[in-house]
Structure 1
Amino acid sequence: MNKIFATILFSILVFAGCKSNEENESFTQKIERGHQKEKFLNKQAIQYDFKLEFGGKERMDAKFTILTNSSQGVIEYKNGSKIIFDKDKVFYSSNIPNEKGVRFDAFTWEYFFLFPYKLTDPGTKWSTYDNIEADQEKYLSQKLSFESGTGDAPDDWYVVYADKATNLIEKAAYIVTANGTKEEAEKNPHAVQYLEYKDVDGIPIATKWLYWEWKEGQGLTNNIGNASLRNIKFVTVNEDTFKTDSSFKTK
């Protein structure tokens, strides 16, 4: 066989094989590939400054340091107070700005950040979602729910929208059942929109989040909040990073 022809044929077969593999990927596999999950999990920890506003009022301004496997993290506020979580345990300083919402703050905002890497965690359940919104052709969409006993709020659900061109998550509609019933939460679903992705050590990370009211069949409606992420970097931590003392409370 002519060497040039053989080389061309080999290239075509390799390309066709890669394309076939991509087409056979599941919804979660495509997103994990787009978000470089394997590369992300090879890092030990990530750190970023996080500023959150709802209704024009500041909700949080703090530095997050979390392990990429999500097992431990610390939130450091401007006044020096901290929230530290270790798996399902939460410890916090007595001068924390919002003591009532400590457990919610400990797990909610870091979950939104780590969301692209947690799609296949134990207890996750995926199902088809009939997206009939005006821009449906732009997205891959599926619905995420959870098995009973998963996390603090197993009745929560998400509708995830990934950009077909990049496999990056752009939107995720959700309900919050932490302070009420699933029926009540479903009357007021919200959504987070991930924007302005930036490359951090070869890993795409959204640096701007917008929060919206959301309606099935219509999608995003009214903007209710926003968050910005700055000074994002992968770091190395030690046992002192998540250290508590006798002054810390637990929740």
Structure 2
Amino acid sequence: MKRFFIVLLSITVLSCNQNKKEENKEPEVKENEDAIAVEPDGGIGNGALSITDHFIKSIEKAHKKDKFSQHKAVSFYANIIFNGKEHLDGKITMLTNSSKIRIDKKDDSKLIYDGENVYLCPADANDQGARFDMFTWTYFFGLPYKLSDPGTQWEMQDDRMLNNTKHSTAKLTFEAGTGDAPDDWYVIYADPKTKALQAAAYIVTFGSDGDTSKAEADPHAIQYKEFTTVDDIPFATKWEFYGWTSEKGMTDKLGEATITDITFLEDEGELFDDPENSKIID
């Protein structure tokens, strides 16, 4: 009988010790199924994303790039004011991969990019800044979907303040021969919580013939505001333009744009065909 009580006591002590271990055990932390794995130190090992790739993918995910790309084309109206003057008022239509673009201006002139050439119609319309208009505003609109395009190069930078909040930033540059202005660069600001694109500092080197000193001396920035959703995809309906320096961030306000009537199209039809009574803009 004595031996029975000793055995029973031993079992009870072991059971109590096991329960204490279970109580002190750290709760299991399950990975968020939506989380994007990140590899430290530039992404060396195990195939996880680098910090830079994670930055890009997080923005693309926040802006529903996969869903955006499922549509054939998108159109929107843009009213752009710069330095107190109306720079553009018209309807912009573009394939979601940006390979074709059309701008129908309020004065009834048109700009069409068919994937090879930029056409101005009618041929005697004002062509000042035509090629700049063709590619600049569509790039700003489509920027969240252009971050991993061929020819893009990235460098993570220090956090920067925007609206009194620290934002992750990275610098985007381009390989030689990429697009119309491969010497351009952008500093991309991502929201610390939503990861959405909030702003981008940039320089405009188009037409500089390789001399970027003027553009480098006067960077600008675009800030995206007043987001709305179309087909569950977020779009900024207010753009604000500012001067910008690396030290101060946003400085004087230079202009703004209002974006309305964002509509997806599933058939491009003849929208991007070469128009009659037009000329090619080099």
Query: Residue by residue, what CA displacement relative to the aligned partner does 1:162-186 show, whole Å, maximum 9, x if unpaired?
Result: 1011111111000011132222211
CA contact 1:133–1:217 (8 Å) conserved in 2:
no
Alignment of 1:77 with 2:77, yes or no, is no
Distance across 2 between alignment mates of 1:120 and 1:134: 24
Query: How far did 1:77 drift?
Result: 1.1
Q: Which runs of 5+ in 1 are unaligned?
A: 1-11
Distance across 2 between alignment mates of 1:118 and 1:193: 17
Query: How far did 1:100 drift?
Result: 2.0
Q: Would the alpha carbon gap of residues 20 and 167 (structure 1) be closer, same or farther in structure 2, given more than 3 Å must change?
A: closer
Match for 1:41 among 49, 69, 72? 69
Larger CA Rg, structure 1 vs 2: 2
Distance across 1 between alignment mates of 2:239 and 2:249: 16
Structure 1 segments of 4+ aligned residues over 2 angstroms from their partners: 17-25, 94-98, 130-138, 236-239, 243-246
Alignment of 1:165 with 2:193, yes or no, is yes
Q: Secondary structure at the match of 2:61?
A: helix
TM (norm. structure 2) is 0.79
Query: How far did 1:136 drift?
Result: 7.9
Amino acid at match of 1:16: E
2:21 match: none
Q: Which runs of 5+ in 2 are unaligned?
A: 1-27, 40-48
- Aligned identity (percent) is 41
Q: Would the alpha carbon gap of residues 250 and 100 (structure 1) be closer, same or farther in structure 2, given more than 3 Å must change?
A: same
Distance across 2 between alignment mates of 1:53 and 1:135: 22
1:245 match: 275
Q: Secondary structure at the match of 1:129?
A: strand
Distance across 1 between alignment mates of 2:90 and 2:34: 43
Distance across 2 between alignment mates of 1:245 and 1:55: 32
Q: Secondary structure at the match of 2:214?
A: helix
Query: Residue by residue, what CA displacement relative to the aligned partner does 1:193-225 show, whole Å, maximum 9, x if unpaired?
Result: 000110111100000000000011210000000
Q: Would the alpha carbon gap of residues 81 and 115 (structure 1) be closer, same or farther in structure 2, given more than 3 Å must change?
A: same
Distance across 2 between alignment mates of 1:183 and 1:65: 33
1:107 match: 135
Distance across 1 between alignment mates of 2:85 and 2:117: 29
CA contact 1:170–1:195 (8 Å) conserved in 2:
yes
Q: How many residues align?
A: 239
1:16 match: 31
Distance across 2 between alignment mates of 1:98 and 1:236: 31
TM (norm. structure 1) is 0.89
CA contact 1:134–1:218 (8 Å) conserved in 2:
no
